[in-house]
Amino acid sequence: MDVAIVLKILIAAVAAGTPFVYAALGELVAEKSGVLNLGVEGMMLVGAITGFIAMAKTGSLLLAVASGMTAGMLMAAIFGVLTLTLMANQVASGLALTIFGIGLSAFLGLNYTSIALPGIPELPIPLLSDIPVLGKLFFSYDILVYGSLALFLLVSWFLYKTRAGLILRGIGETPKSAHALGYNVIRIRYLAVLFGGAMAGLGGVYLSVAYTPVWVEGMVAGRGWVSLALVVFATWRPLRVLFGAYLFGAITIAQFHVQGLGIDIPSQLLSMLPYLATILVLVVISRDLTAIRLNSPASLGITYHPENQ
Amino acid sequence: MFVKIEPRPEPSRVMKYCSPLIAAVLMLISGLVIFTILGKDPAQAFHAFFIEPIHDLYGIGELFIKAAPLMLIGTGLAVGFRANIWNIGAEGQMALGAIFGGYIAIIFHGSSSHFILPMMILAGAIGGILWAAIPALLKTVFNANEILVSLMLNYVALLLLELLVHGPLRDPNGYGFPQSVLFSDSAMLPVLIEGTRLHLGVLISIIGVGVGWVFLEKSFTGYQLQVAGLAQKAATYAGFDYKKLIWIGMLAGGLAAGIAGVLEIAGPIGQLLPSISPGYGYAAIIVAFVGRLHPGGIFLSSLLMALLYLGGESGQMNLDLPSAVTGIFQGLLLFYLLAADFLINYRLRLTVRRGETE
């Protein structure tokens, strides 16, 4: 294979991995605060269709992004009310959110199934993108890809370099102590959950507006679930999330390239790859019980309410 | 007047059984609101959605046909859910049941033996169990999260079914359409009531729910599952083998879903198609919760959920309502249930600020 093909595959992998970057980093922040939101798939779907509608109606990417994020946040707010205020089981509530999101997005998208959007333009960074090979690989994506990298930097900085990030992580470990220190556990968890929703929504927008700019019912196709697995795979660390996202991006596009090389494998078998890879990755990571225990937020998935202690 | 929230001294038994009803009523009210927003006459839409589909015997038959897989799978899932073992893979386990059962129907095509149907059901059960065994094995041996693994396997199973009906299991005389041969009569579940499509599978599903009830409520293992779900530490101290419970919890769902898959293809469908379920495996999760993880409740909630499916179809035909509304109703129902469950442990009290006696 020559450089051009490898380059093409790598660039495609970054694009395919970008929805994972958004959704998984958002979920990472929520999980770091101790909340497990299994509704990522549903939030991504609703974000995808809302962004798609906004784009189709106005042609403004900014509005598409804003409405997709808002929609994701609204979905996350439902989850927040259920699990944080009403103390419902997080697993059941997250599943409900996904089921609801699948239905809601299908409903909202009824009149948009036959429309194709123009996509969004690439924004090669001047000068830098002219560097041979590397310029193309690093500096010639659309704005949402750059945005996902900015998000990565922001999340890493926030979690590990700011006081607020420390508090958030503290709440994820022992909400009781954080409460005793005077922090409003419920409010901070709400913020983390809403952030997760906004990012899942944005990941959805990227899918429907930039990556494959048409609306297809259920087009997120399990990416929300893969994002959840990515957080485990990354043992709750932002840099590993980024790496995992691009790895899975590469696996998602592998099917097209394998067929392109003329290898005769049924397309369904190739489509299974990302899902099988997710299982494999989960097994490899989870096998190491100590690593999981050390890295996962100690209160993850456990309902906490200050008045309930 | 003010609403004050206060914890109950002990969980309310009344609310435990009332909250599904509250959820159902809230869902109906939301339905009326949604119909109105869509510009339909609420009363007319309500009638089309919830009354029209079951106004005659045929409709009631259809209701039970749709409820059958939901109640069977819901009961199977409840076994695991009771112990906080989350099998989300029923949709895929159902597909595997259909593949295994359908394979028997296809290789014995044309035979009129009475053993074909029982063999299909047995094969379907094995298929569902094997598929559910994967997350159980990975959970017990490698600690891999069963939610994510079982869910990923849904996508894999549906692709597998699609692959098979496009290739090896396709009807050779079917002009290339991705579907198997139409099953012989010997591989089809007989219709029980004249004038309806109500088939033997419905009866089998109801029996399945009964078996689930005996297992969950009367067996020691059922008791262990309950304890493990309520207080895992207590279960550990009592010496219950949690790994064994994981296996039982996962495989019960796989067994039920596998059989449900066979009953679908040998009942209403009559052949293998690329898609054999409108999301029953997911809807059954809601059915299990709304039914309070109790087989009796699951039976009732499966009827409600089946009505939502029928209502979606009827609303689409009669009022041009999008059938996607069904999915919204399903999600809302579970939201409302989870919210109403708050009232099990808390009560709302109306207080007048001044002159409050307590």
Average pLDDT, chain A: 91
What CATH number was assigned to the domain covering residues A3-308?
Answer: 1.10.3470
- Chain B CB contacts of A282 under 8 Å are 138, 144-145, 148-149
Residue B316 confidence class, pLDDT cut points 50, 70, 90: confident
- Please tell me which of the candidates B162, B324, B332 has its beta carbon nearest to residue A106: B324
Cβ(A157)–Cβ(A285) under 8 Å? no
User: Residue B354: what pLDDT?
Assistant: 56
Evaluate whether residue B103 is within a structural domain.
yes
- Whether A211 and A15 have beta carbons less than 8 Å apart is answered as yes
The rounded distance, in Å, linking the Cα atoms of B67 and B205 is 9
Please compute the mean of the pLDDT values over residues B154-180 and round it to a whole number. 92
Q: What pLDDT sits at residue A204?
A: 97
Q: Would you place residue B56 in the very low, low, confident or very high pLDDT band (cuts 50, 70, 90)?
A: very high
Q: In terms of residues, how long is chain B? A: 358
Query: What is the distance between the alpha carbons of residues B244 and B260, in angstroms, rounded to a whole number?
Result: 24
The residue ranking higher by pLDDT, A237 or A119, is A237
Which of A232, A249, A210, A216 shows the shortest CA–CA distance to A285?
Answer: A232
A144, A206 contact by CB (below 8 A):
yes
Interface test with A, best of B151, B160, B344 (most A CBs within 10 A): B151
- The band of B350, judged by pLDDT with boundaries at 50, 70 and 90, is confident
User: What is the least distance, in Å, from the CA of B330 to any CA of chain A?
Assistant: 7
What is the model's pLDDT at position B356? 46
Report d(CA A75, CA A45) in Å as an integer: 10
Q: Which residue has the higher pLDDT, A114 or B158?
A: B158
Q: Taking residues B294-322, report their average pLDDT.
A: 91
Range of the structural domain that residue B274 is part of: 41-320
Q: Which comes out higher in pLDDT, residue A109 or A123?
A: A109
Contacts of B283 (CB under 8 A, 6+ apart): A99, B70, B305, B309, B330
- Picking from B153, B324, B338, the nearest residue to A92 by CB comes out as B338
Query: Residue B350: what are its φ and ψ, rounded to 5°?
Result: -80, 125
pLDDT band at residue A287 using 50, 70 and 90 as cut-offs: confident
Kindly determine whether residue A100 and residue B330, on different chains, have CB atoms separated by under 8 Å.
yes
**Which residue in A219, A286, A303 has the most chain B C-beta atoms within 10 A of its own C-beta, making it the best mutation to test that interface?**
A286
Task: For residue range A28-81, list pLDDT tens digits in order.
Answer: 999 999 999 999 999 999 999 999 999 999 999 999 999 999 999 999 999 999
Q: Where are the domains of chain A?
A: 3-308
Token pair of A161 as six digits: 């370099």
Residues on chain A touching B145 (C-beta within 8 angstroms): 229, 232, 282, 286
CB-based contact A104 B286, cutoff 8 Å: no
Task: Write the ipTM.
Answer: 0.90
Closest CA to A39 of A77, A82, A83, A95: A95
**Domain containing residue B156: CATH number:** 1.10.3470
Alpha helices (runs of H) in B38-115, residue ranges in sequence order:
42-46, 57-81, 90-107
Cα distance between residue A299 and residue A83, in whole Å: 14
Among the partner-chain residues A92, A228, A283, the one whose CB lies closest to the CB of B142 is: A283
For residue range B244-272, what is the model confidence (pLDDT) as tens digits? 999 999 999 999 999 999 999 999 999 99
CB contacts, 8 Å: A286 with chain B: 142-145
Percent of chain B with pLDDT over 70: 98
Q: Evaluate whether A152 touches A18 at the Cβ level (below 8 Å).
A: no
Split at pLDDT 50, 70, 90, the class of A206 is very high
Is B213 part of a structural domain of the chain? yes
Kindly indicate the confidence band of residue A308, based on its pLDDT and cuts at 50, 70 and 90: low
The CA distance from A63 to A46, in Å, is: 15
Residue type, position A178, single letter = A
Q: Do B322 and A107 touch (CB under 8 A)?
A: yes
Cβ(B72)–Cβ(B260) under 8 Å? yes
H helices of chain B, where?
13-37, 42-46, 57-81, 90-107, 116-142, 146-166, 200-218, 220-230, 232-237, 242-264, 280-290, 295-319, 325-340, 342-345
Number of structural domains chain B divides into: 1
Report the 3 state secondary structure along chain A: CCHHHHHHHHHHHHHHHHHHHHHHHHHHHHHHCCCCCCCHHHHHHHHHHHHHHHHHHHCCHHHHHHHHHHHHHHHHHHHHHHHHHCCCCHHHHHHHHHHHHHHHHHHHCHHHCCCECCCCCECCCCCHHHCCCHHHHHHCCEHHHHHHHHHHHHHHHHHHHCHHHHHHHHHHHCHHHHHHCCCCHHHHHHHHHHHHHHHHHHHHHHHHHHHCCECCCCCCCCHHHHHHHHHHHCCCCHHHHHHHHHHHHHHHHHHHHHHHCCCCCCHHHHHCHHHHHHHHHHHHHHCCHHHHHHHCCCCCCCCCCHHHC
Which pLDDT belongs to residue B1?
A: 63
pTM for the whole structure:
0.92
Dist. CA B91–CA B161, nearest whole Å: 12
Are the Cβ atoms of B331 and A286 closer than 8 angstroms?
no
Q: For residue B24, tell me if it sits in a domain.
A: no
Q: What is the pLDDT of residues B110-136, one digit of tens each?
A: 898 999 999 999 999 999 999 999 999
Q: Which residues of chain A lie closer than 8 angstroms to B339, CB-CB? A: 81-82, 86, 88
Q: Is the pLDDT of residue A1 over 80?
A: no
How many pairs of residues across A and B have Cβ atoms under 8 Å apart?
A: 135
> Quick check: A129 pLDDT over 80?
no
**Banded pLDDT at B357 (limits 50, 70, 90):** very low
- Mark yes or no for CB contact A99/B331 under 8 Å: yes
The residue whose two tokens read 């047995």 is B122
Task: Looking at the complex, report in whole angstroms how far the Cα of residue B342 sits from the nearest Cα belonging to chain A.
Answer: 6
What confidence score (pLDDT) does residue B238 get?
A: 84
| Residue B323 distance to chain A (closest CA, Å) | 8
Coil, strand or helix at B4: strand
Nearest CB neighbour to B149, from listed A78, A272, A282: A282
Which of A36, A86, A105, A111 to probe the B interface (max B CBs under 10 A)?
A86
Do the Cβ atoms of A52 and A71 come closer than 8 Å? no
How high is the pLDDT of residue B358?
42
Query: What are phi and psi for residue A160, nearest 5 degrees?
Result: -110, -10
**Among A134-143, A174-183, A189-198, whose mean pLDDT is lowest?**
A134-143
Between A287 and B153, the higher pLDDT residue: B153
The per-residue pLDDT of chain B, averaged, comes to 91
What chain A residue is nearest to B341 in terms of C-alpha separation?
A88
